[in-house]
Structure 1
């Protein structure tokens, strides 16, 4: 589903009472149109068929008249006043892009080179392109063969996922096979912690019939399932063909991942519309532009008020001089409207500079990482929403005491404000933990905390480089913590060890 189809499916009106003007406008248009046609025949003083034959061009009923522009302009104004909308105002504390778990099949079949360079390498490239397209949205990575393993938990930093993605290879997986059902269960488990629906994207080349039923069954988490098929155009697979999920075959360009991202994101945005608490985003202002363009027809000879528009525009331009540093955008948009355009394009720094509305200015500062400035801006407002947002900004800037005070202020203004009480308890726990750790550090009571790193200084190139081999106890596997202390090798080696530990524990 593209953006246009999504907007049409979610379209409704905030103030639908204004739509009652449309039948009245239609009746007025019909009456004036009919009267104008009858008058023309009477004034001509000839028969209707002779009048039509002697008239150059189309009939009077088909020619554009002044009433057409007036009726259309009033209709656009009425629809705009009704408040058309199809989405809510974005919540700065809720991601506007669907949380996604990418499930990558890592089996020997994925090393086939019918999709250059190989199916697996092309799949990694597509996942990297998807991460760039999603612009920092929360994404997790699951790898599966005979068993499924979480490679990277949900993160909004694509640089964290990249080395683990590159390290995946069939020899890393501890168990042979292709257990897609277990991978699906793992992905749904990851998404179960999210309040909103998420998306699961399988990147694979084939699907066993034993897994088909599990993937076609609806999940309890409400997650949406999509599939990127790593097969050439002429190849088919019975399992994938029977899959009811959104299926897109790999392409040479990015049209495949763009299509998948749009389709998977549509359900998430629909869920935000249904469950969100933000006000609806009134898009009626969009109709002001075509309504204003209709005034241009007043300059036609014989049309009513053709000089009135010129006088109004001239008087306005003389009485309201533009500032010397005003740009072209200032002629058409207010600073808040320009700020919203920058905010929509995710240019939060520019949006924060443009907004004059303190609430939106603070939201832009928060999204840009200016947490202290956002807290100061929120402090100017005396609403529960502003107090709650101020607390979140203080949490981000590690001002836990200020955050506690802000959440307490939120509850004082609105005792039922969503998540305020929970966040207050979390802020108190964080502050207690930080102060306890600081006290123990000052008194030397903290035990079991060793050095962050062990460094052997050899800057002068004296002696030989020494490698310390960890004690593994023969074939005994290291724990994940032990491995992380000694790992100094490729990511694939770390993943192989970690997946083997998980498989052995199961």
Structure 2
């Protein structure tokens, strides 16, 4: 954890249930009575010399020793603090990505072809992007390329395979104008983040920033734009030294290993948590479970000879009296964590299948099913819930399973339950557009091959009866991924980007 994240967490620290702190008065009182109340100073006759009196007094120094009652008081204090619900961060909406949307602004200029960062600055940046995509699996990522002009390459997508072929086609020859306009790239990246339900980040991958570019970036409105990070691929000028005058943004220098990738991810996460803490609709994350570990460690003192308390034996016997399958089959985690807490740990570790099994909270269980790819099961579980957010999750699950007509009904249900749910409204329009596109394509071709839709795909609904459903005979296999589709195109990806960027530059700013 960086110092910045630590200070941010301290500024957000508070208790969800502060009234539990009153129990500390009771714990302190009991400790005082047990520790000192039973001690009575024995008064010996004054005729006895002081050094002899000290030798005759038994246990005179026991007040200075650590006693079992001290460990009990400390454990009770930790449990009271845990019950008070310490927190310093908010929970993300279960129906929204648990990672921040990220737009990468990649500099594609002649200076990025320098070999000081082998093989070249640009190629190394591409490799680092792939490493970043791997670590951020399932998170939305978009790509902007810029030199003397800035262009959107790929919109925000959760599928890294969509981004890879376009990333490979980027080099200075596809850019219509030479130069470097980071300010324009910032505006293009910001447009991709506009309208997102969760706070996002913008990551510049570059070698240098001119003073004009720094001025343009510094003039942005931080309140209405994503957080900024700069990943510097430049060893000749001292890496990040060229950005030392930048007023805002986090600067990361390229490394030969993955330390820079980890640093970028921490920077994005810190910015995301800072933005999430300002969202009044988000729930605070109860961190009281973290105090269970020190409490368990302190209890180990009870195994020291002479430290056991009489009533601890009763607790131990009560634990042993539990049925064997209950006490041991469920594992040690059941002694310290609830199923939902275990599910959250599995979810944070991206073990979504295990998380779906552990969660009892229906909202999180449905979302874990969604993240694990069990869209039909997720949609069914969402359908049993009455909130607008649940209807939104049902619609998203149905879209993933390509049941667009049912998804439209679910999104409409979400809007009816909460007219202010903008995410449901946007997805409703998108689902209607997709369904209309599919049915229009069916009218034009009863196989769907001209639009790139596999005829073997029988999950598309066609209740309107538009077009004819046919089955493709076995033989040629249809491409399944974006990369495979790009390979079926005669034009190289770089040529396609070059033509598109030239047209966009000729058309001027939109």
The 1:71–1:318 alpha-carbon spacing in structure 2 relative to 1, beyond 3 Å, is closer
- 8 Å CA contact 1:233–1:249 kept in 2: the answer is no
Q: How far did residue 323 of structure 1 move? A: 5.8
**Does 1:70 find its partner at 2:72?**
yes
Name which of 266, 271, 276 aligns with 1:272.
Answer: 276
Displacement of 1:278 in angstroms is: 4.4
In 2, Cα distance between the equivalents of 1:98 and 1:69?
42
How far off is 1:50 after superposition? 8.1
Number of matched pairs:
468
Match in the other structure for 2:352: 348
Q: CA deviation at 1:40?
A: 6.0
Worse-superposed segment, 358-367 or 237-246: 237-246
Deviation at 1:168, TM superposition (A): 1.5
Structure 1 match to 2:105:
103
SS of 1:104's equivalent in the other structure is: strand
Following superposition of structure 1 onto structure 2, how do residues 189-338 of structure 1 map, counting pairs within 5 Å? 189-219=191-221, 221-232=224-235, 235=238, 239-244=242-247, 245-275=249-279, 277-303=281-307, 305-306=309-310, 308-322=311-325, 326=329, 328-329=331-332, 332=335, 333-338=337-342
Q: Quote the offset at 1:203 in angstroms.
A: 1.3
| 1:287/1:44 CA distance change after superposition, 3 Å | farther
Indicate the residue corresponding to 1:418 in structure 2.
421
SS of residue in 2 equivalent to 1:252: coil
Q: Secondary structure at the match of 2:278?
A: helix
Structure 2 equivalent of residue 125 of structure 1 = 127
- Report the alpha carbon displacement of residue 376 of structure 1 after superposing the two structures with TM: 1.9
CA shift at 1:276, angstroms? 5.6
Give 1:255 deviation, angstroms: 1.2
SS of residue in 1 equivalent to 2:97: coil
Q: 1:238 to 1:272 in 2, by over 3 A?
A: closer
| Cα distance in 2 for residues equivalent to 1:436 and 1:139 | 29
TM-score (norm 1): 0.79
CA distance in 1, matches of 2:155, 2:60: 68
Q: Deviation of residue 406 (structure 1)? A: 4.2
Are the structure 2 counterparts of residues 90 and 52 from structure 1 closer, same or farther at C-alpha, using a change threshold of 3 Å?
farther
Tell me the residue number matched to 1:170.
Answer: 172
Q: Does the CA contact (< 8 Å) of 1:198 and 1:223 recur in 2?
A: yes
CA deviations on 1:243-292 (whole Å, 9 max, x unpaired) are 12211111111111211221222122232233263433322233234334
- How far the C-alpha of 1:92 sits from its partner, in A, is 2.8
Kindly indicate whether residue 391 of structure 2 is the aligned counterpart of residue 374 of structure 1.
no
Which of 226-235 and 117-126 deviates more? Answer: 226-235
What is the CA–CA distance in structure 2 between the aligned matches of 1:326 and 1:13, rounded to whole Å? 34
Higher mean C-alpha displacement, 401-410 vs 359-368: 401-410
Show CA shifts across 1:10-40 (max 9, x none).
332110111233355446545655557x746
In structure 2, list runs of 5 or more residues that go unmatched: 453-485
Residue 490 of structure 2: aligned partner: 488
Tell me the alpha carbon deviations over residues 385-431 of structure 1, each in whole angstroms, 9 at most, x when there is no partner: 4444334433433444544554565567x556734872695388459
Tell me the SS of whatever aligns to 1:291. helix
**Which residue of structure 1 aligns with residue 460 of structure 2?**
none
- The alpha-carbon deviation at position 82 of structure 1 amounts to 0.6
Residues 180 and 211 in structure 1, CA contact (< 8 A), matched pair in contact too:
yes
Q: Assess if the C-alpha contact under 8 Å between 2:232 and 2:240 holds in 1.
A: no
Matched residue, 1:458: none
Provide the residue aligned with 2:436 in structure 1.
433
Tell me which residue corresponds to 2:365.
Answer: 361
The one of 10, 19, 22 aligned to 2:21: 19
Q: What's the CA shift for 1:236?
A: 5.9
SS of the aligned residue for 1:322 comes to helix
Unaligned runs of 5+ in 1: 454-483
Q: Please state whether the residue corresponding to 2:329 is helix, strand or coil.
A: coil
The verdict on how the C-alpha distance between 1:415 and 1:168 changes in structure 2, with shifts beyond 3 A counting, is closer
